């Protein structure tokens, strides 16, 4: 019958539309400087079926393909932000960017994948994972999850092993936020051992939470109640202490450690020292630490001061200088954002008590531009280094490489065009996040992401976003990544480090 035919026809058309939508069009990027972590070359790039098909000079443009002229521009792998908190319930609020608005903002800034921190729901990791999957149903770009471990039990340990099978290969432990997310050293140690067993990366928020609680009380009782109290109450050496402790406990069980948001010289020194003795430790500064300093928290306008409150705090300018140098010198490995946004109404709950200002700053949209300005335009690093610290390193650490983090045949077509000659200014008036403030307000950037391609689709071009909720995909990350390779060879030394075990010692003849 006619209606049956209509039904068949419409389903065929629907499937065809879906197919075209998912597969994307053929795109040729002409004449750009293809820039990967290991070098640059002027070449053309062919994209089809959501993947990079060819990278070569003088590529023939297939009929019907979309042509992008990239002369004078860098063609780079899309950014990977390894540290975000979209729609996070935290300190009595829920972060105001969800998986759609936050990802749309990311794409407008050239980031094509992020790894978000799923939180347990009432201590339950599996329930937390399911809840975050639901939140991510409106995703418009690729994403993965880390899982936070905020308590310890046999069930938590079993859930970690289950989650590894579901595509999570990293777990975060908080040594701060006493009475909320914080774990004890005993719980952390158990977690480190479990991570080693299942081949997952242990991540740590390193501040001494006990001392922070005392410091907060001390500053508040001294009559300092505004946002500057946040900076004063948790000094950098408390970050240094916790980083040192975490690094040493990770050494004790011989497992890789990833220190999130290294905000101070103190933390950088501990990461650098560990690496210098051959330990597998990763240090992740965030964009705000490269560009800002603590004076924002002294701004008489509460709205501006509270917007800069995050933990560990943004520090004095000397820390910023050191962090940038450490990044350039390879002591730190990659840059994230810790994008956790609370608008000025949400931040206002802490008016009169800095201890309850929801912690977090923006950055998912600004990260690439901030890193370009602070690191490349300052002459500290090359465009290839830029790719490494904004994309490739994250892909390698979290076992996504070379699917992500490189412009090469077979890789996902997550590609950006960056024009180094376009000047722009960051502002809450023009950004795409839902937050009504911007910690980088007014910052001038020379160089702009002018095109973003996500899985083979042009989603950002000429200042326009073309994104659809529900098109983003969960990217599974497998355990036992590169950081675990050959680790067992070191077990003997880690369990019985030289100098701690009395070794029976016979004097050689020539010594007598």
The secondary structure element, H or E, covering residue 113 is strand 111-118
Phi and psi at 387, nearest 5°, equal -65, -40
d(CA 62, CA 64): 6
Contact in structure between 224 and 274 (CB atoms under 8 Å): no
Show the DSSP H helices in 47-184 as ranges.
Answer: 101-108, 125-135, 154-165
Which parts of 343-402 interact with ligand URP (CB under 6 A)? 359-360
With tokens 């903002």, the residue in question is 105
Q: Work out how close the CB of 338 gets to ligand URP at its nearest, in angstroms, rounded to a whole number.
A: 5
**Which residues on adjacent β-strands are paired with residue 449?**
418
229 binds ligand URP per the rule CB under 6 A = no
For Zn ion, the closer of residues 116 and 142 by Cβ is: 116
For Zn ion, the closer of residues 338 and 412 by Cβ is: 338
For ligand URP, the closer of residues 85 and 443 by Cβ is: 85
For ligand URP, the closer of residues 32 and 240 by Cβ is: 240
CA distances from 313 to 82, 98, 238, 257, 377 (A): 19, 24, 11, 21, 26
Q: Structure tokens of 297?
A: 């928290």
Q: Work out how close the CB of 176 gets to Zn ion at its nearest, in angstroms, rounded to a whole number.
A: 7
Which parts of 132-191 interact with ligand URP (CB under 6 A)? none
Q: Work out how close the CB of 183 gets to ligand URP at its nearest, in angstroms, rounded to a whole number.
A: 13
Q: Are strands 39-48 and 51-56 parallel, antiparallel or unpaired?
A: antiparallel
Q: Work out how close the CB of 501 gets to ligand URP at its nearest, in angstroms, rounded to a whole number.
A: 38
Q: Work out how close the CB of 494 gets to Zn ion at its nearest, in angstroms, rounded to a whole number.
A: 26
Q: Where are the beta strands (DSSP E) in 260-373?
A: 281-283
Which parts of 85-104 interact with ligand URP (CB under 6 A)? 85
Preceding peptide of 121 cis, ω within 30°: no
Sole binder of ligand URP in the list 44, 338, 385, 412 (CB under 6 A): 338
* CA dihedral sign, ordered 477, 482, 483, 488: positive
Applying CB under 5 A, the span of 86-94, 198-206, 319-327, 417-425 interacting with Zn ion comes to 198-206
For ligand URP, the closer of residues 310 and 323 by Cβ is: 310
Q: Work out how close the CB of 41 gets to ligand URP at its nearest, in angstroms, rounded to a whole number.
A: 38
Q: Work out how close the CB of 181 gets to ligand URP at its nearest, in angstroms, rounded to a whole number.
A: 8
d(CA 247, CA 239): 12
For ligand URP, the closer of residues 74 and 143 by Cβ is: 143
**Which residues, at least 6 apart from 216, have a Cβ–Cβ distance to it below 8 Å?**
229, 233, 234, 354, 355
Contact in structure between 272 and 285 (CB atoms under 8 Å): no
Picking from 332, 214, 244, 286, the residue whose alpha carbon sits closest to that of residue 439 is: 286
Cα angle 281, 282, 285; round to 5: 140
205 binds ligand URP per the rule CB under 6 A = yes
Q: Work out how close the CB of 359 gets to ligand URP at its nearest, in angstroms, rounded to a whole number.
A: 3
338 binds Zn ion per the rule CB under 5 A = yes
For ligand URP, the closer of residues 44 and 338 by Cβ is: 338
**Which residues, at least 6 apart from 425, have a Cβ–Cβ distance to it below 8 Å?**
442, 443, 444, 445
Q: Work out how close the CB of 510 gets to ligand URP at its nearest, in angstroms, rounded to a whole number.
A: 58
For ligand URP, the closer of residues 436 and 461 by Cβ is: 436
The listed partner (Zn ion, ligand URP, none) that binds 310, CB under 5 to 8 Å by sort, is ligand URP
For ligand URP, the closer of residues 311 and 343 by Cβ is: 311
Which parts of 284-323 interact with ligand URP (CB under 6 A)? 310-311
The listed partner (ligand URP, Zn ion, none) that binds 360, CB under 5 to 8 Å by sort, is ligand URP
d(CA 318, CA 101): 34
Q: Work out how close the CB of 383 gets to Zn ion at its nearest, in angstroms, rounded to a whole number.
A: 28
Applying CB under 5 A, the span of 72-80, 199-207, 241-249, 485-493 interacting with Zn ion comes to 199-207
d(CA 94, CA 20): 36
**Which residues, at least 6 apart from 208, have a Cβ–Cβ distance to it below 8 Å?**
175, 176, 238, 241, 242, 245
Which parts of 41-70 interact with Zn ion (CB under 5 A)? none
The listed partner (Zn ion, ligand URP, none) that binds 405, CB under 5 to 8 Å by sort, is none
Q: Work out how close the CB of 97 gets to ligand URP at its nearest, in angstroms, rounded to a whole number.
A: 12
The listed partner (Zn ion, ligand URP, none) that binds 504, CB under 5 to 8 Å by sort, is none
**Size of interface with ligand URP, in residues (CB under 6 A):** 8
Contact in structure between 438 and 429 (CB atoms under 8 Å): no
**Which residues, at least 6 apart from 262, have a Cβ–Cβ distance to it below 8 Å?**
239, 243, 268, 271, 283, 284, 285, 289, 323, 332
For ligand URP, the closer of residues 177 and 484 by Cβ is: 177
Output the residue with the shortest Cβ distance to Zn ion: 205
Q: Work out how close the CB of 39 gets to Zn ion at its nearest, in angstroms, rounded to a whole number.
A: 32
Picking from 36, 145, 111, the residue whose alpha carbon sits closest to that of residue 459 is: 111
For ligand URP, the closer of residues 281 and 309 by Cβ is: 309
199 binds ligand URP per the rule CB under 6 A = no
339 binds ligand URP per the rule CB under 6 A = no
Contact residues toward ligand URP (CB under 6 A) are: 85, 205, 310-311, 338, 340, 359-360
Contact residues toward Zn ion (CB under 5 A) are: 205, 338, 507
């Amino acid at each position: 019958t006619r209606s049956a035919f209509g039904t068949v026809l419409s389903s065929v058309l629907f499937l065809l539309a879906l197919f075209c939508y998912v597969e994307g069009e053929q795109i040729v990027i002409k004449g750009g400087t293809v820039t990967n972590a290991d070098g640059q070359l002027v070449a053309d790039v062919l994209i089809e079926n959501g993947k990079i098909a060819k990278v070569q000079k003088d590529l023939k443009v297939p009929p019907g393909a979309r042509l992008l002229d990239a002369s004078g521009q860098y063609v780079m792998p899309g950014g990977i932000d390894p540290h975000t908190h979209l729609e996070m319930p935290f300190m009595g609020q829920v972060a105001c960017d969800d998986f759609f608005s936050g990802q749309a903002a990311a794409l407008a800034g050239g980031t094509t994948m992020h790894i978000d921190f799923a939180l347990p729901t009432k201590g339950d990791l599996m329930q937390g994972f399911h809840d975050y999957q639901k939140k991510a149903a409106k995703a418009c770009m690729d994403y993965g999850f880390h899982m936070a471990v905020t308590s310890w039990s046999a069930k938590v340990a079993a859930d970690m092993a289950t989650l590894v099978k579901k595509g999570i290969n990293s777990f975060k432990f908080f040594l701060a936020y006493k009475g909320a997310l914080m774990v004890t050293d005993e719980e952390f140690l158990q977690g480190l051992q479990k991570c080693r067993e299942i081949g997952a990366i242990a991540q740590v928020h390193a501040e001494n939470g006990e001392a922070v609680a005392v410091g907060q009380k001390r500053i508040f009782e001294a009559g300092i109640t505004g946002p500057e109290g946040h900076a004063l109450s948790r000094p950098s050496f408390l970050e240094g202490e916790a980083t040192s402790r975490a690094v040493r406990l990770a050494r004790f069980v011989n497992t890789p450690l990833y220190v999130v948001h290294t905000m101070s010289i103190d933390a950088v020194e501990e990461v650098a020292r560990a690496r210098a003795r051959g330990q597998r430790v990763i240090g992740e500064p965030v964009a705000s630490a490269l560009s800002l300093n603590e004076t924002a928290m002294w701004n008489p306008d509460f709205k501006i001061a509270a917007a800069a409150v995050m933990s560990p705090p943004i520090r004095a300018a000397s820390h910023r200088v050191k962090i940038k140098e450490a990044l350039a010198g390879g002591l730190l490995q990659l840059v994230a954002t810790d994008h956790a946004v609370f608008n000025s109404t949400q931040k206002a709950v802490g008016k009169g008590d800095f201890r309850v200002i929801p912690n977090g700053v923006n950055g998912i949209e600004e990260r690439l531009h901030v890193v370009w300005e602070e690191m490349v335009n300052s002459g500290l690093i090359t465009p290839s280094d830029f790719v490494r610290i904004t994309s490739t390193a994250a892909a390698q650490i979290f076992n996504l490489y070379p699917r992500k983090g490189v412009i090469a045949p077979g890789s996902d077509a997550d590609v950006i065009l960056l024009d180094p000659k376009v000047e722009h200014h960051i502002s809450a008036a023009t950004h795409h996040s839902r937050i009504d403030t911007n910690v980088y307000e007014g910052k001038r950037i020379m160089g702009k992401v002018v095109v973003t391609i996500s899985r083979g689709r042009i989603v950002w071009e000429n200042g326009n976003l073309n994104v659809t909720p529900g098109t983003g995909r969960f990217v599974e990350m497998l355990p036992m990544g590169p950081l675990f390779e050959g680790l067992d060879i070191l077990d003997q030394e880690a369990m019985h480090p030289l100098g701690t075990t009395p070794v029976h010692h016979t004097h050689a003849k020539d010594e007598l």
